[in-house]
Chain A
Amino acid sequence: MPYSIHGPQAATGGKGSRMRGAELWYLKEIFRGMYVTARHFLTNVFHMADMPTLQYPDEKPNYGPWLRSRHRLMKREDGTPRCVACQMCSTVCPSDCISIVAMEDDRPDVEKRPETFTIDLLRCVYCGMCVEACPCDAIRMDTGIFEIAADSREKFVVDLDFLLNNTTDGVKP
Chain B
Amino acid sequence: MAKIIIDGKEWEFEEGMNLFEACTIARGGEKLPHFCYHPGLPVAGVCRMCQVEIEGVPKLQIACNSTVRDGMVVNTRSERVENTVRQILEFHLLNHPVDCPICDQVGECALQDQYMKYGLYETDVDVGDKVMKHKAQAIGEHVMLDAERCVLCSRCVRFTEHITKTNEMGIFNRGNHSEVGVAPGLSLDNDYSMCVVDLCPVGALTSRDFRFRKRVYRLSSVDSVCPGCATGCNMRIEYADGVIYRQKPRTNLAVNEYWMCDQGRLLYKHVGGDDRLEEPFVREDGELSPVGWDHLWSALKARWEGLGESRRLVLVGSPHATLEELYGLKSLLADAAGGRVLGHRLDGTEMDRDDGFLMAADRTPNDQGARRLGYEAFTASELHDAGGEDALLVILDNDLAGLDEAAAEALGSYGAVAYLGWRENATSRVADFVLPGLSYAEKDGVFVNKDGRAQRFFKAVDGPRQAREDWRLIAELGEIFGHTPTWRAHHDLLSELSARLDAFGALAGGIGEEGTLLDGDSAAKEVERG
Q: Do chains A and B touch in the complex (CB under 8 A)?
A: yes
Closest to B208 in A: A104
CA distance A87 to B106 in the complex (A): 11
Chain B residue with Cβ nearest A86: B101
Report the minimum CB–CB distance from B214 to chain A (whole Å). 9
Residue of B nearest to A114 (CB): B212
Q: Contact: B102 with A111, CB < 8 Å?
A: yes
Is A84 touching B101 in the complex (CB atoms < 8 A)? yes
A14 at the interface (CB under 8 A from B): no
| CB neighbours of A7 from chain B (8 A) | none
Within 8 A of A (CB), among B128-143: 135-136
**Does B291 reach chain A (CB closer than 8 Å)?**
no
The complex places the Cα of A91 from the Cα of B102 at a distance, in Å, of 14
Q: How far is the CA of A52 from the CA of B92 in the complex (A)?
A: 60
Count chain A residues whose beta carbon lies closer than 8 angstroms to a beta carbon of B.
Answer: 14
Residue in B102, B211, B213, B215 whose beta carbon sits within 8 Å of that of A84 in the complex: B102
Given A91-B217, A104-B212, A112-B212, check contact A86 B100 (CB 8 Å). yes
In contact, B101 and A135 (Cβ under 8 angstroms): yes
Chain A residues with CB below 8 A from B212, complex form: 85, 102-104, 112
- CA–CA, A112 and B211, complex, Å: 10
CA distance A112 to B215 in the complex (A): 13
Contacts A85-B212, A104-B212, A108-B135 given: A136-B217 contact, CB under 8 Å? no
Question: With a CB–CB cut-off of 8 A, which chain B residues contact A160?
Answer: none
Check B215–A136 contact: CB distance below 8 A. no
CB of A1, distance to nearest CB on chain B (Å): 65
Query: Is the CB of A88 closer than 8 A to any CB of chain B?
Result: yes
- Could you tell me if B101 and A108 are in contact, using CB atoms closer than 8 angstroms? no
Q: Mark A9-49, 1 if CB is under 8 A from B, else 0.
A: 00000000000000000000000000000000000000000
CB within 8 A of A111: which of B106, B136, B215? B136
- For A104, the chain B residues whose CB sits under 8 A away are 211-212
B86, chain A: closest CB distance, angstroms: 24
Tell me the nearest residue of chain A to B146, going by C-beta: A111
Taking the nearest CB of chain B, how far is it from the CB of A138, in angstroms?
10
Q: Is chain B's interface secondary structure helix, strand, loop, or mixed overall?
A: loop
Chain B residues 98-154 with CB under 8 Å of chain A are 100-102, 106, 135-136
CB nearest neighbor in B for A138: B101
Known: A108-B135, A108-B136. A91 touches B215 (CB 8 A): yes
| Chain B residue at smallest Cβ distance from A111 | B102
1/0 per position for A121-138, CB-CB distance to B under 8 A? 000000000000001100
The docked-state distance in angstroms from the alpha carbon of A91 to that of B135 is 26
Contact indicator B215/A87 (Cβ below 8 Å): yes
Query: What is the CA–CA distance of A79 and B449 in the complex, to the nearest angstrom?
Result: 56
| Distance in angstroms between the alpha carbons of A85 and B211 in the assembled complex | 12
Task: Enumerate chain A residues within 8 angstroms of B211, measured Cβ to Cβ.
Answer: 104
Which residue of chain B has its CB nearest to the CB of A112? Answer: B102
Q: How far is the CA of A84 from the CA of B99 in the complex (A)?
A: 10
Min Cβ gap B241→A in Å is 10
Alpha-carbon distance between A103 and B212 when the two chains are bound, in angstroms: 6
Residues on A with C-beta less than 8 A from B213 are 102
Question: B45: shortest Cβ distance to chain A, in Å?
Answer: 33
If the complex has contacts A91-B215, A102-B212, A104-B211, are A86 and B102 also in contact, measured as CB distance less than 8 A?
A: yes
Residue of B nearest to A100 (CB): B215
Q: B189-221 toward A: CB 8 Å interface, digit per residue (1/0)?
A: 000000000000000000000011101011000
Chain A neighbourhood of B218, CB < 8 A: 87, 91
* CB–CB B136/A136 < 8 A: no
Chain B residues near A85 (CB, 8 Å)?
A: 102, 212
Residue of B nearest to A104 (CB): B212
Residue in B closest to A88 when the chains form the complex, CB atoms:
B101
User: B102 — nearest CB in chain A belongs to which residue?
Assistant: A112
- Neighbour of B135 across the interface among A84, A111, A135, CB < 8 A: A111
Residues of B within 8 A of A87 (CB): 215, 218
* A136 with B101, Cβ < 8 A, contacts A85-B212, A91-B217 known: yes
Cα separation A104 to B206 with both chains bound (whole Å)? 14
The chain A residue sitting closest to B134, CB to CB, is A108
Interface residues of B (CB under 8 A from A): 100-102, 106, 135-136, 211-213, 215, 217-218
Residues of A within 8 A of B (CB): 84-88, 91, 102-104, 108, 111-112, 135-136
Which A-B residue pairs are the 3 nearest by beta carbons? A86-B101, A102-B212, A112-B102
Subset of 29 A-B contacts with CB under 8 Å = A84-B101, A84-B102, A85-B102, A85-B212, A86-B101, A86-B102, A86-B106, A87-B215, A87-B218, A88-B101, A91-B215, A91-B217, A91-B218, A102-B212, A102-B213, A103-B212, A104-B211, A104-B212, A108-B135, A108-B136, A111-B102, A111-B135, A111-B136, A112-B101, A112-B102, A112-B212, A135-B100, A135-B101, A136-B101
12 further A-B contacts with Cβ under 8 Å, apart from A104-B211, A135-B100, A136-B101, are A84-B102, A85-B102, A86-B106, A87-B215, A91-B215, A91-B217, A91-B218, A102-B212, A103-B212, A104-B212, A108-B135, A111-B136
